[in-house]
Amino acid sequence: MAMTRRDMWKRGAAACLGSAAAFLPARADGPQDYGRYFRLPAAGPSGSPVLEDAPKSIVEDGRIATGLFKTPVRHMNLLDSRILHGKATCWLGLPRLLEWIGAGMAHPDWYFGFIIVDAKSAHLSVLYGYNRKTGALFSHDSLGPSRQVRVAESLWNDSTRVEKSGFSMSVLHRLEKGFHQVSIDIKESAQGPPVRGNLTWHEDLEKTQPLVMMSQLDGLHFVYNHKAQMPIEGSMKIGGEEAVFDPLRDLANLGEVRSHSGLKNHYNWFNFGGFNREGRVVGLNALSSRQRPEHSWTENCMWVGDTLSMVGPVHFEVDPRNIMQPWRAYDKAGRVDVTFHPEGGKSIMLGFLGRYHQKCGCFRGTLIDDAGEHHEVTDYYGCAESMAVF
Report pLDDT for 5.
Answer: 52
Helices (H), 244-320: none
**Is the pLDDT score of 347 beyond 80?**
yes
Q: Of residues 175 and 5, which shows the higher confidence score? A: 175
**Is the pLDDT score of 223 beyond 60?**
yes
Report pLDDT for 91.
Answer: 59
Per-residue confidence band for 11, with pLDDT thresholds at 50, 70 and 90? very low
Distance CA 110, CA 129 (A): 7
Mean pLDDT of 286-312: 86
Question: What is the rounded average pLDDT for all residues in the chain?
Answer: 89
DSSP codes joined into one string, 96-149: S-EEEEEEEEE-SSEEEEEEEEE-SS-EEEEEEEEETTT--EEEEEEEE-GGGE
Domain boundaries, the chain: 1-257, 264-390
Mean pLDDT of 214-243: 95
Q: Is-contact 113 360, C-beta < 8 A?
A: yes
Report pLDDT for 86.
Answer: 84
**Is the pLDDT score of 219 beyond 70?**
yes
Lowest mean pLDDT among 2-11, 29-38, 303-312: 2-11
**Is the pLDDT score of 218 beyond 90?**
no
Distance CA 48, CA 215 (A): 13
Distance CA 46, CA 136 (A): 48
**Is the pLDDT score of 388 beyond 90?**
no
Per-residue confidence band for 117, with pLDDT thresholds at 50, 70 and 90? very high
List all residues 6 or more positions away from 200 whose beta carbon is below 8 Å from its beta carbon.
Answer: 179, 180, 181, 182, 232, 233, 234
Lowest mean pLDDT among 2-11, 317-326, 368-377: 2-11
In sequence order, what are the beta bridge partners of 339? 328, 364
Mean pLDDT of 45-52: 81
Q: Is-contact 140 127, C-beta < 8 A?
A: yes
CATH class entry, domain 264-390: mainly beta
Question: What tens digit of pLDDT does each residue of 243-269 get?
Answer: 999 999 999 999 999 999 876 778 999
Mean pLDDT of 34-44: 86
Mean pLDDT of 211-233: 94
Mean pLDDT of 189-213: 97
Helices (H), the chain: 5-16
Report pLDDT for 26.
Answer: 45
In sequence order, what are the beta bridge partners of 69? 52
Amino acid at 272: F
What percent of the chain is predicted at pLDDT more than 90? 72
pTM (two decimals): 0.90
**Is the pLDDT score of 27 beyond 90?**
no
Other Cβ atoms closer than 10 A to 212: 21
Lowest mean pLDDT among 60-69, 287-296, 310-319: 287-296
